[in-house]
Amino acid sequence: MTRYIIRRLLWGVLLLILVSALTFIFFRVFPTADPATLRAGRLQNPKIIAAIRHDLGLDKSLLTQFWIYMKGIFLHLDFGFSYYSSASVKSLILNRLPATVSLVLGGAVVWLVTGVTIGIISAVRSGTLLDRASMGTALVFVSAPEYWLGLIVLYLFASDIGVFKIFPGAGSYVPLTSDPAKWFTSLIMPWFVVAASTAAIYARLVRGSLIETMGEDYIRTARAKGLTERRVILRHGVRSAINPILTILGLDIGILLGSALLVETVFNIPGIGRLNYDAIQHSDFPIVQGTVLIAAFFVIVANIVVDIAYAYLDPRVRYS
């Protein structure tokens, strides 16, 4: 197991370098705008633009720029400086990261608990009215776009504009370190919106996988031994049926880190998604590169954790 983890970590580092290289080349070879020209503003003087390019290091060769960039990341965790504001990219990301992590991890907990629970109940009650209602509702949430669902939730439950004034509305996000209670209440609606479609997918996956698993020979053997139905389902059925969920969980968390823009925009949450969107608008490549690298890091780490969890949840899986 130790050798496997070390090997996966080394592959993870290689993937991060590859992602960094692709992102770097994409924004240098196919730029949408010249950062030096944008930074010069109204002072479109060739000498001023040349001086700005020199200050930003854009007059060096592509290979030299990439080497300096990667050396800064791996030696000092330095992502460079914003072309637009001259602020440290690392500080900008660290300031916004807690909001996005709160949104994503909280949403992941909600969709896991909700999706797995509904999937188990639907599998156990397969063919009943409860099963049909659960899967029908899941289909509705899978089809609902996040931005539309977010607006509907705000219209219904926001304390400022909602029909039923229950939860804090858009722009009410409070950091966890400032006020844990307000942090929790301000994220209830965003968590629901983030979790809705994914929880619905997980519920359908768990239902199908558990129905198939409950027909296996070892399930019948467990029942023949006199185990209670609850123990058979939870200890034997769910433990094997949960594997498809683990397969996509790591990817879902990583993808959500990169696609949280819509939810952050609807609920005015100052997270990585908004930072990346503003950076793209201003052709602020260092910020885009930093946020892409952070998202890739979370995808790689989440998948390593999922692969390790396989060995503990499924006794048939062994790593050498």
Rounded distance, CA 111 to CA 12, Å?
A: 26
Given a contact cutoff of 8 angstroms between Cβ atoms, the answer to whether 232 and 245 are in contact is no
Q: Which residues contact 175 (CB under 8 A, 6 or more apart)?
A: 98, 99, 183
Given a contact cutoff of 8 angstroms between Cβ atoms, the answer to whether 310 and 243 are in contact is yes
DSSP 53: H
| Residue 81 β-bridge partners | 88
Measure Cα distances from 157 to 99, 141, 150, 180, 188 in Å.
Answer: 21, 18, 10, 21, 11
Rounded distance, CA 27 to CA 294, Å?
A: 17
Q: What is the pLDDT of residue 221?
A: 83
Q: What is the pLDDT of residue 312?
A: 65
Q: What is the pLDDT of residue 140?
A: 83
Measure Cα distances from 20 to 75, 78, 255, 262 in Å.
Answer: 15, 13, 17, 24
Tell me the residue type at 96.
R
Given a contact cutoff of 8 angstroms between Cβ atoms, the answer to whether 45 and 94 are in contact is no
Given a contact cutoff of 8 angstroms between Cβ atoms, the answer to whether 282 and 37 are in contact is no
Tell me the residue type at 141.
F
Q: What is the pLDDT of residue 314?
A: 59
Given a contact cutoff of 8 angstroms between Cβ atoms, the answer to whether 272 and 175 are in contact is no
Q: What is the pLDDT of residue 209?
A: 84
Q: What is the pLDDT of residue 158?
A: 87
Per-residue pLDDT tens digits of the chain, which is 320 residues long: 677 777 778 888 888 888 888 887 777 776 666 677 777 766 677 777 788 778 777 778 878 888 888 888 877 788 888 877 778 888 888 888 888 888 888 888 888 888 888 888 888 888 788 888 888 888 788 777 888 888 888 888 888 888 888 888 887 888 888 888 889 998 999 998 888 888 888 888 888 888 888 877 778 888 888 878 788 887 778 777 777 777 777 777 767 776 677 788 888 888 888 888 788 777 778 888 888 888 788 778 877 777 777 666 655 555 55
Q: What is the pLDDT of residue 205?
A: 86
pTM (2 decimals)? 0.77
Given a contact cutoff of 8 angstroms between Cβ atoms, the answer to whether 49 and 37 are in contact is yes
Q: What is the pLDDT of residue 315?
A: 56
Given a contact cutoff of 8 angstroms between Cβ atoms, the answer to whether 287 and 306 are in contact is no
| Residue 158 β-bridge partners | 167
Give span(s): CATH 1.10.3720.10, the chain: 97-313
Rounded distance, CA 151 to CA 263, Å?
A: 10
CATH match for 97-313 among 3.40.50.620, 3.40.640.10, 2.60.40.10, 1.10.3720.10 = 1.10.3720.10
DSSP 167: B
Q: What is the pLDDT of residue 41?
A: 67
